Amino acid sequence: MSKYLLHGKLTAKQGSGEQLSAILLQAAQLISAVKGCQVYLISKDTQDKETTWVTEVWDSKEDHDNSLKLENVRVLIGQAMPILDGMPQKGQELEVLGGLGIK
C-alpha cells in the first residue's frame, strides 16, 4: 500500500484559533469529494487553543497537489492566511504502510 500522508500544524494569531478551525472544517467538507482523498482530519491542540492540526491521507501526492488548485479551496486558503501567526510550516510528509481504516 502506498498512500501519501501529510500531517501539519497551523497556528492562528491570538484569539483566532476558533476561526481557523472553522475554515479548516469547511475545507474538510470540500475535500471530502475530491479525487484521491481518503482522510482529511482536523484536530484541536489540547494545550494551545490557537493551534489546529490537519492530517490528510491521499492516494498520491499528485491528488493532494491538485486539490490545492481548486477554486473553492483557494478561497479558503485566502481566508486562513491573514489569521495565521506567521507562514505555515511545511507539514510532515509520510508514506502510509497500512493500518485500520485506510483502503
> What is the per-residue pLDDT across 27-56, written as a single tens digit (0 to 9) for each?
999 998 899 999 999 999 999 999 999 999
CATH for 3-87, options being 3.30.200.20, 3.40.50.300, 2.60.40.10, 3.30.70.100: 3.30.70.100
Cβ-contact 51, 45 below 8 angstroms: yes
Cβ-contact 52, 20 below 8 angstroms: yes
Q: What is the pLDDT of residue 102?
A: 64
E strand or H helix at 42: strand 37-44
**How many CA atoms lie within 13 Å of 81's alpha carbon, on the beta-carbon side?**
6
Domain ranges of the chain: 3-87
